């Protein structure tokens, strides 16, 4: 059964102005309720399409302090409150030792809304600054170090999955970075098994637009913490991809959704990878 099919009915079973404590001060406007409803529907569609809930009992939610991870947590708590997500949630922030990082913001906020959480300190900032040459981008190494620590924490907490807040644009930008710079067709998977085979990585926001997540974060008044490490650098390849996609969307509205659908409709025989499709097995059928 398509679990997203009845989201409208499920949403209407409770007053939109109530719910988890996180939504206590949420707007009551029609526009916000439509946004909230759309995001819930898209998250549930991702659950359904990628069978994200199969065998899952406990999730570690990566919380960076940015709009997307806050939004992810809020939507999952909303679904949990509605009885539509039978999974225990633990929020986790990895304090990477960045200068001037406001250490109090996340623990205070998570405690205020009653969310079980773990704050882990690991000075990966010094490692990144030491290893990456001046003027180069930090994102790749920073991300790998952060991911490795989150994998470890997830297993220590007995979680079945690490859940991350990557959205539609993150997936498309990654695809084009690989396409233009890596010479391969690959994006961010919505569901991934780690190399050890003992932990799932899930991205429930795969269908959610970044613009919607930004509007949601503003309306919810999340205490956003900016990234002063990679966010301070200009000329990142990802920023170039973001600008390109934004320009395409301005010229041809709806193209981002079309591109995302294309990633789910792959025809191997119409590409050029002999490892993916056995071109040598093609033979002309003789006719008399």
CA–CA separation, 244 and 176 (whole Å): 10
Q: Is 142 annotated as a binding residue?
A: yes
Q: What are phi and psi of 190, to 5 degrees?
A: -75, -20
* Helices 210-220 and 168-177: angle between axes, nearest 10 degrees: 140
Q: Is 208 annotated as a binding residue?
A: no
CA–CA separation, 216 and 226 (whole Å): 17
Residue with tokens 């225990």: 88
Torsion angle (degrees, nearest 10) of CA 164, 37, 216, 254: 80
Q: Is 92 annotated as a binding residue?
A: no
Coil, helix or strand at residue 58:
strand
Q: What is the CA radius of gyration of the chain?
A: 21
| Known binding positions for [4Fe-4S] cluster | 139, 142, 230
| Known binding positions | 139, 142, 230
């Amino acid at each position: 059964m398509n679990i997203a099919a009845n989201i409208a009915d499920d949403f209407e079973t409770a007053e939109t102005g109530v719910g988890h404590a996180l939504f206590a001060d949420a707007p009551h406007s029609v526009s916000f309720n439509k946004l909230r409803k759309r995001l819930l529907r898209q998250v549930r569609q991702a659950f359904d399409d990628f069978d994200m809930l199969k065998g899952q009992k406990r999730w570690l939610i990566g919380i960076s302090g940015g709009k997307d991870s806050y939004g992810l947590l809020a939507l999952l708590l909303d679904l949990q409150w509605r009885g539509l997500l039978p999974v225990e949630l633990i929020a986790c922030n990895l304090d990477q030792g960045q200068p001037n990082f406001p250490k109090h913001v996340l623990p205070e906020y998570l405690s205020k809304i009653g969310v079980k959480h773990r704050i882990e300190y690991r000075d990966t900032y010094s490692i990144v600054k030491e290893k990456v040459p001046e003027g180069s981008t930090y994102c790749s190494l920073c991300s790998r170090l952060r991911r490795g620590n989150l994998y470890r924490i997830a297993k220590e907490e007995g979680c079945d999955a690490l859940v991350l807040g990557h959205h539609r644009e993150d997936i498309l930008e990654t695809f084009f970075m690989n396409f233009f710079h890596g010479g391969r067709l690959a994006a961010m998977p919505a569901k991934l098994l780690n190399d050890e085979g003992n932990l799932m990585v899930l991205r429930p926001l795969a269908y959610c637009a970044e613009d919607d997540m930004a509007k949601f974060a503003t309306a919810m008044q999340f205490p956003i913490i900016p990234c002063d490490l990679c966010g301070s650098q200009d000329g990142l390849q990802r920023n170039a991809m973001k600008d390109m996609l934004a320009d395409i969307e301005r010229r041809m509205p709806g193209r981002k959704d079309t591109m995302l659908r294309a990633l789910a409709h792959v025809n191997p025989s119409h590409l050029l990878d002999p490892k993916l499709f056995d071109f040598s097995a093609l033979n002309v059928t003789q006719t008399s």
